[in-house]
């Protein structure tokens, strides 16, 4: 009973799987259009249609993934008869939201300096920190996913031209693996 009140136990593995597939579809679309490469990421010219398409696509992807995650989580929470909005929910949102907002500010600063190469590493590192901090309030598997994102983000920093590859592994493949683990451990 105490764990139920202090931890948010309704994260959905199905949403993780869906998010992973959507991220891989987005990357596949960008690569197929010739906008990006897994091994030779270059700085975008911020005035091109490719950059605008990438940013718009990224924002749409983020929004769809957020709605998907919230939808599956709300459904699971209601099915378990739990409250959706409680102290654990607020703690998770704060823990994941702060690093993601800092990451957004860093990316905006980089864009103002006409630099886009750090997009992938910054998003992986900030999301990984958010997951790591949020894991305190939910399943322990989230901590491992956060650490894996941090490793991929570090690799993306060390190998900037391969940022898209590491981003695909993190936001695509890792979400699918994490979602499957969560589904089979906690939802079935």
Helices 13-32 & 175-182 angle (0-180, nearest 10): 160
Predicted structure pTM score:
0.83
Residue 85 pLDDT exceeds 80: no
CB 116 within 8 A of CB 81: no
CB 27 within 8 A of CB 36: yes
**What is residue 93's predicted lDDT score, i.e. its pLDDT?**
81
**What is residue 71's predicted lDDT score, i.e. its pLDDT?**
85
**What is residue 145's predicted lDDT score, i.e. its pLDDT?**
93
Range of the domain at 133: 2-187
In the numeric block, which tokens belong to residue 160?
């900037």
Count of domains in the chain?
1
pLDDT in tens, 107-161: 777 766 656 678 888 899 999 999 998 888 887 888 999 999 999 999 999 998 8
CB 179 within 8 A of CB 13: yes
């Amino acid at each position: 009973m105490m764990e139920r009140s202090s931890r948010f136990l309704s994260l959905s593995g199905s949403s993780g799987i869906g998010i992973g597939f959507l991220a891989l579809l987005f990357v596949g679309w960008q690569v197929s259009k010739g906008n990006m490469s897994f091994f030779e990421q270059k700085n975008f010219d911020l005035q091109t249609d490719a950059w605008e398409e990438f940013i718009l696509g990224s924002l749409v992807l983020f929004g769809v993934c957020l709605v998907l995650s919230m939808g599956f989580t709300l459904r699971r929470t209601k099915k378990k008869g739990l409250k959706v909005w409680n102290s654990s929910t607020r703690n998770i949102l704060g823990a994941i939201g702060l690093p993601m907002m800092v990451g957004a500010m860093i990316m905006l600063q980089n864009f103002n300096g006409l630099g886009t190469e750090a997009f992938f590493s910054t998003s992986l590192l900030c999301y990984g920190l958010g997951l790591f901090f949020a894991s305190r309030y939910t399943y322990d598997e989230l901590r491992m996913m956060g650490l894996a994102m941090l490793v991929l983000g570090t690799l993306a920093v060390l190998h900037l031209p391969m940022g898209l590859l590491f981003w695909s592994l993190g936001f695509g493949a890792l979400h699918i693996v994490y979602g499957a683990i969560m589904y089979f451990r906690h939802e079935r």
